[in-house]
Amino acid sequence: MSSARKNIHGKRGVKFKAGFTAAKKKNMMRNLATELIKYERVTVTEKVAGDLKPLADHLITLAKAGDLHSRRQAAAIVRDIYVDDKQTQTVLQKLFSEIGPRYKDRKGGYTRALKVDQRKGDNSPVCIVELV
């Protein structure tokens, strides 16, 4: 199936359907959650920040549990990439060995979104999402 834009035939003639599907959004969220764990800070638009924060909080909650089932659930979301250049630690290992124990006594609110400015190209509001 082609990923090109498709036409919608309605009452008022032919319109274009947006090329942004649910699968693309899911993949973008997986990539951003992985980058947030890797760098502990990511710059995104305000709308994306609102979608990213609950996913990141859920991953940290899984890391706090630390059991095998939680690790497998997090592995289904997080990409399998390395954190360092020596390729010794993956993002999933960092999540469960460093980030999970860091928030052991905290009951929630592991991420924060700081509004920064407007993006230069399209004047979209930009946020920095970081781990608290």
Those residues whose C-beta lies under 8 Å from the C-beta of residue 86, and which sit 6 or more positions away, are none
Q: Check which CATH number belongs to the domain holding 85 and give it.
A: 3.90.1030.10
Model pLDDT for residues 28-50, shown as the tens digit of each residue: 999 999 999 999 999 999 999 99
Domains identified in the chain, total number: 1
- Per-residue pLDDT for 4 more than 70? no
Q: Rounded CA gap, 8 and 5, in Å?
A: 10
- pLDDT, tens digit, for every residue of 79-110? 999 999 999 999 999 999 999 999 999 999 99
Domain range enclosing 127: 22-131
Residue 16 belongs to a domain? no
The answer to whether residue 15 is domain-embedded is no
Residue 81 neighbours by CB under 8 Å, 6+ apart = 34, 38, 90, 91
Which DSSP helix (H) or strand (E) runs through 126? strand 125-131
At residue 132, the pLDDT reads 92
The CA-CA-CA angle for residues 34, 96, 65, to 5°, reads 115
In a domain, 11, yes or no: no
| Residue 17 located in a structural domain | no
Label residues 60-74 b or e (16+ Cβ within 10 Å = b): bbbbbeeeeebbeeb
